[in-house]
Amino acid sequence: MLKMLSLLGVLAMIAALVGLYMIGSLISSQPLAIALQAGAILLMIYARVTFGRRSFHPVANPTTGGLVTSGPYHYIRHPIYAAACLFGWAGIAAHASVASVALGFVLLAGGLIRMFSEERLVAAMYPEYAEYAKRTKRMIPFVF
């Protein structure tokens, strides 16, 4: 069940980002949005490099090799999903409309579904995850 939810979450995120692109609300020419989106891309790259050779799975599938707690994972548990949401919401802020905000909530909901599902699966594989979760936030350092 958790793996199916995780798949639905990632599909919702992809659909929301594609939808934002299709309505012209994903990419912005405003300097602040560009800076936020560039930061999101750098965060995503940093997280992928830190995570190493472990591949991305459409379905949350904890991998062997130990719990990753270095790099951006030292501060937040889900930097890749945080980066995707930051990228999308920066575009939405620059092109706010009912449709873009609705897609933004789909993006965020998909990310949250994916995160909660993944966390339960990772915690089952790595008992030390509970302690790690106590000292880090999900998406925004010191906040959430």
pLDDT > 70 fraction of the chain, expressed in percent and rounded: 99
CA 98 to CA 119: how far, in whole Å? 31
Is 58 domain-assigned? no
| Look-up of token digits 């706010």 | 96
Close Cβ partners of 96 (under 8 Å, ≥ 6 residues apart): none
Query: Residue 127: which residues within 8 A CB-CB, separation 6 or more?
Result: none
Mean pLDDT, all residues of the chain: 93
pLDDT of residue 137 exceeding 90, the answer is: yes
Asked if residue 60 is part of any domain, the answer here is no
User: Which pLDDT score is estimated for 2?
Assistant: 87
Q: State pLDDT tens for residues 50-87.
A: 988 776 777 777 777 788 999 999 999 999 999 999 99
Answer yes or no: is 142 within a domain: no
Length of the chain: 144
Q: Give the domain extent around 34.
A: 2-53+66-135
Residue 144 within a domain: no
Residue 63: predicted pLDDT:
74
Total number of domains constituting the chain: 1
Is the Cβ–Cβ distance between 61 and 3 less than 8 Å?
A: yes
Amino acid identity of 34? I
32-48: per-residue pLDDT in tens? 999 999 999 999 999 99
| pLDDT tens, residue by residue, 77-117 | 999 999 999 999 999 999 999 999 999 999 999 999 999 99
pTM over 0.75: yes
| 143 belongs to a structural domain | no
pLDDT reported for residue 3:
87
CA distance 114 to 60: 8
In the chain, alpha helices (H): 2-22, 31-51, 79-94, 98-125, 129-135
Quote the pLDDT of residue 55. 65
Q: Which two tokens stand for residue 43?
A: 């965060």
